[in-house]
Amino acid sequence: MAEADPIRLRDRIDTGPRFTDADAIRLNRMFRGADTMEMLRAVIGDGLVGELATVSSFGAESAVLLHLVSQVDPALPVLFLETGKHFPETLQYRDDLVARLGLTGLVNLRPDPELLAKRDESGLRWSYDPDGCCEIRKVLPLATALAGFDATLTGRKAFQSATRANLPRFEVDTSDAQGRLKINPLIDWSADDLAAYIAEHDLPPHPLVAQGYPSIGCSPCTQKVAPGEDPRSGRWKGWDKTECGIHTPLTDDGELPPGYDPAF
């Protein structure tokens, strides 16, 4: 592939956005037809998008992206939201996978203890206000951690749900006002592609997948999924909610939209 023009990065003291929609469009065109590893070598190895981290849930298919990342830079920061509500199997899987892949940049992000004491003293907010629980335990800790990064890698795939079906590889992160770039390296991978890659590289599966959990989040808000159902249909079952909020666009006022705004 021909050498690409560098993407303009704003100085950190500039209050304007790091990236614009035009930058995302140009990157999507630049890497049209490129395979995933070629793209990752450019954005990780060549520093094409500035300071970069990957956000991982260490869920059902996380091993694929983490393995790809480890082939380019095993020291890349890997941000994990330690909500205090994960399945024990997820925490063990995180530790096993980090050791297996030689990842040295793991960062466990925990909610603010004072905020938890004030707004979720019982630890049961998930049962009556899952948006508020996600806000405290996921959205706010991640927003704080991402202040020093220009771009993030995600593990989202188009086949996972209707809300992800048309996502591009590169997009501007509209969940805050910083103009951070969000990169979805596996967006065009199918379930068969993932399974083949896992088999080829002998990657360990998340232990809960075999028990009927194709999408795994916090234990109180994750249920088993029947064959043929949307892989994410077990998340927040019974609630009008499909995302935790970290991938949710802000309104023009800089707030989460209705359905994600916690009822504090």
Q: Confirm whether 244 is a catalytic residue.
A: yes
Burial 177-198 (b: 16+ CB within 10 A, else e): ebbbbbbbbbbebeeeebeebb
The C-alpha angle 211, 212, 215, rounded to 5 degrees, equals 115
| Phi, psi (rounded to 5 degrees) for 238 | 90, -5
Length of the chain equals 264
* Cα→Cα distances 258→58, 132, 240, 241, Å: 28, 12, 11, 11
Cα torsion angle, 201, 224, 89, 91, sign: positive
Q: Which of 133, 134, 218, 244 is catalytic?
A: 244
Q: Residue 213, exposed/middle/buried by CB under 10 A (0-12, 13-18, 19+)? A: buried
Residue 173 makes CB contacts below 8 A (sequence gap 6+) with 152, 179, 180, 181, 182
Q: Could you give the residue numbers annotated as active site?
A: 244
